Amino acid sequence: MRKFTLNDGRIRFGWMCLLLLAVFMGVVVRLGWLQIVRANDLRKQSENQLTADLTQKHPRGRIVDRDGEELAVSIMTGSLYVDPEGMSDDSLAAKARPQRDVRRIAADLLAPVLKMDKERLYKTFTGGGRFVWLKRTMDPKEEEQVRKIIKENKLPGLHFLEESKRYYTKKRTAAQILGFIGTDDVGLSGIEYQLNDVLKGKDTKYSLMVDAAGQQILGGLVNDKAQSVQKKQEQLPTVYLTLDSKMQYVLEDAMDDAIARTHAKGAAAIIMDPYTGEILGMASRPTFDPNNFNKYSQESWNNKAVSMIYEPGSVFKPIVGCMGLTEGIISPNTIFNDAGSIRIADRIIHNWDGEGLGYVPFSTIIKFSINTGMVQLGMSLGADRLISYAKKFGFGSPTGIDLPGEEHGILYNPKMMYEPDVATMAIGQGIAVTPIQVLRAICAIANGGELLKPYIIKKIVAPDGSVIQEGQKQVVRNVITPEVASQMRAMMEKVVSEGGGKTAAIKGYRIAGKTGTAEKLAEEGGYAAGKYIASFVGFVPADKPKYAMLVMLDTPQGAFYGSQVSAPIFRDTLQQILVAKGIQPTNREGLPSFDMMNTTDDKAKEKPKTIPQILLMPNGKIKLPDFKGIDMRYTAELLQQGRLRLKPYGSGIAYQQKPAPGTEVVEGTTVEVWFK
């Protein structure tokens, strides 16, 4: 046996040192690898295990009407999320209690409040993971209920984050104009879409720190910036629209009533300032509530006032008349022979009633909407001039209004027009227009010849009060001379005072307008039997227009002429607006004076009638006074004080009302009042 020597010990010690050195070097290399090479990857893995990346969304900027009345606002509200892996009783206090199935308890208790299926909710709780949204931007009452359930039942793993929720204060009012936003706070339609970059604040990203059990630690927020964000929200600009809320309210009510009476497939109405291009009111049907937009059809989201294209019918005749006046082909007194029908090539075009008036001046052609006379004028103008003037009036291209979804409309290529095409275009058929195009063109007649760019954004105001952007009158071009405009205004006034538009007349006011009834195109080509577009367009007062308005009904049932269904809507809507805005009648003949209104009869002239008052009752309801003996203006003002709607019948002095005097009603109730 070999003897162990000192040299052997030295060798073994050397090998051990080398081995230890190798191990040490391996550790150093490994540490270098982890700390330097893979440092970023490992740091991210650690952060992923300990944190949840979230995004703080700031409240969007407000949208208000021209007077600052709020239409769309944002508030901070709770959004509920769950940490499925943290839904267990792991604390010492919890272990002292009998074992329970937290996930099942939470599913059973929360499902009715969240309006979710219990089993689906339970699967979410048992599906694993560290972060799952349950419900975003909850209503305050709903959030309060959930918080109470979590606290009383000591349910772990359920947490809230503050997020911005959009509220549309007037529900369906101006729905298509305002639009709506998605759950990611991005505008999807209307002004919300058009001005998304202005209204939407910058998102702040931050991390939520949790322990091994998934519970929040250190206040939950990793970075100080995020903590300050939750305390102080970003201030964003306010968008002022040109809309007048009171006028919009009346217009919306009129549209609802029109749909209920005519059972029309759809409708659109616009009120515009003919001298500035400001949109004062705009409504579309069907409609929706943007607070719950996903519960409505996509068709209801469309703003028909700018997106629907249709054949205009006779409302296009004043435009063609202006073409003839401008070219010197006609004057208001030019005589036409109306035989009741006219043959153009292989097509016979009839008057709407099939009757002929013989030799009549052009003013009568417009007054009674005579097709034969318009066809004769159209043939004299020819295809090139018809199309050229139509484009000059803005047809065939978007108006440029600051709303999304506007259509161009359709015009002929003049080189491809045959004689029958020229004839039908002269009576407003064979072309396609949008409601906003028609109203803009009529406004050019109302204001003396200026074609304006309509706009709906009045101004955008920064938080410090400075104006970032301001809408203003923009003249696109002059399309007719003031003389031609004056001649056509006079003819359109006779349409209402003497012709086919009498149903649009408002006692005491000079109204100019034009009815229109056009056959509706069928999907398979040609015209759909028994389906029409009924419309009326006009302005008031006729000599110095303050408001211009268009009403269009798509496929009304029963009565379908524009004079039957659209003109009365024009009348009833503007009658309320004129009274509410204090626009005095041009002619007071037949209208009572203020002194007459304030007396009960001849015997009581020395004793003035007391003006009734709107009474707010202790229960929050409004007690209706007796409106008998009061004129429409004061009736409207009184009802507006109580935020009540007026539905007038006739004009003059009130003699009957529904609900009866003394009835207690809630805010928003429609009060019907009869005048004579």
Is the Cα dihedral 577, 580, 586, 591 positive or negative? Answer: positive
For 158, the token pair is: 């359920």
* 398 and 530 assigned to the same domain: yes
Given a contact cutoff of 8 angstroms between Cβ atoms, the answer to whether 105 and 125 are in contact is: no
Q: CA geometry: angle at 430 spanning 454 and 264, to 5°? A: 70
For 576, the token pair is: 């309320």
- Number of Cβ within a 10 Å radius of residue 208: 23
For 234, the token pair is: 């970003």
Beta strands in 150-265 (DSSP E): 158-168, 204-210, 216-221, 238-241
Is the Cα dihedral 343, 346, 348, 349 positive or negative? Answer: negative
* 519 and 541 assigned to the same domain: yes
Q: Mean pLDDT check: name the lowest of 49-58, 165-174, 280-289, 528-537.
A: 49-58
Given a contact cutoff of 8 angstroms between Cβ atoms, the answer to whether 629 and 611 are in contact is: no
* 283 and 211 assigned to the same domain: no
**b/e 478-502 (16+ beta carbons within 10 angstroms → b):** ebbeeebbebbbebbbbbbbebbbe
Is residue 227 one of the residues assigned to a domain?
A: yes
Which residue would you say has higher pLDDT here, 414 or 615?
414
> Whose CA is closest to 594, among 626, 627, 632, 624?
632
How far is residue 596's CA from residue 653's CA, in Å, rounded to a whole number? 10
Amino acid at 294: N
* 271 and 125 assigned to the same domain: no
* 501 and 641 assigned to the same domain: no
Residue 48's pLDDT band, with cuts at 50, 70 and 90, is low
Q: What is the mean pLDDT of residues 133-139?
A: 84
Q: Mean pLDDT check: name the lowest of 244-253, 446-455, 623-632.
A: 623-632
* 388 and 436 assigned to the same domain: yes
What is the percent of the chain with per-residue pLDDT over 90, rounded to a whole number?
53
Is residue 3 one of the residues assigned to a domain?
A: no
Is residue 38 one of the residues assigned to a domain?
A: no
* 567 and 623 assigned to the same domain: no
How far is residue 385's CA from residue 84's CA, in Å, rounded to a whole number? 72
How far is residue 180's CA from residue 137's CA, in Å, rounded to a whole number? 15
> Whose CA is closest to 577, among 249, 177, 269?
249
Could you say which of 580, 610, 640 is where a domain stops?
Answer: 580
For 32, the token pair is: 């270098």
Is residue 183 one of the residues assigned to a domain?
A: no
* 302 and 439 assigned to the same domain: yes
Q: Return the C-alpha torsion angle 298, 569, 535, 578, nearest 10.
A: -110
Among all chains, which residue has been given the structure tokens 């009184």? 638
For 638, the token pair is: 């009184």
CATH number at residue 447: 3.40.710.10
C-alpha count within 13 angstroms, C-beta hemisphere, residue 413: 2
Is residue 549 pLDDT above 50, yes or no?
Answer: yes
Residues 6+ apart with CB under 8 A from 656: 628, 673, 674
Residue 593's pLDDT band, with cuts at 50, 70 and 90, is very low
Q: Mean pLDDT check: name the lowest of 137-141, 268-272, 449-453, 654-658.
A: 137-141
- C-alpha distance across the termini of the chain, in Å: 139
CATH number at residue 93: 3.30.70.2110
Cβ neighbourhood burial of 650 (10 Å; 0-12, 13-18, 19+): middle
Residues 6+ apart with CB under 8 A from 620: 666
* 226 and 268 assigned to the same domain: no
For 641, the token pair is: 């004080």
How far is residue 198's CA from residue 507's CA, in Å, rounded to a whole number? 45
Is the Cα dihedral 290, 293, 298, 299 positive or negative? Answer: negative
For the chain, give the mean pLDDT: 86
Cβ neighbourhood burial of 284 (10 Å; 0-12, 13-18, 19+): buried
How far is residue 322's CA from residue 395's CA, in Å, rounded to a whole number? 15
Beta strands in 402-504 (DSSP E): 450-452, 457-461, 467-470, 475-478
How far is residue 654's CA from residue 673's CA, in Å, rounded to a whole number? 6
Is residue 504 one of the residues assigned to a domain?
A: yes
* 575 and 601 assigned to the same domain: no
pTM: 0.77
* 553 and 462 assigned to the same domain: yes
* 569 and 608 assigned to the same domain: no
Taking only the tens place, the pLDDT of each residue in 328-345 is 999 999 999 999 999 999
Is residue 14 one of the residues assigned to a domain?
A: no
CATH number at residue 635: 3.30.10.20
Which residue would you say has higher pLDDT here, 223 or 267?
267
The tally of domains found in the chain comes to 3
Is residue 228 pLDDT above 50, yes or no?
Answer: no
pLDDT at 204: 66
Is residue 289 one of the residues assigned to a domain?
A: yes
Strand partners, 167: 73
Q: What is the mean pLDDT of residues 404-415?
A: 95
Coil, helix or strand at residue 153 = helix
Amino acid at 495: V
> Which domain does 133 fall in, by range?
53-59+72-166+207-233
Taking only the tens place, the pLDDT of each residue in 598-641 is 343 443 333 334 567 788 887 888 889 888 888 777 787 788 77
> Whose CA is closest to 362, among 352, 373, 346, 350?
373
Q: Are strands 238-241 and 527-540 parallel, antiparallel or unpaired?
A: unpaired
Is residue 196 one of the residues assigned to a domain?
A: no
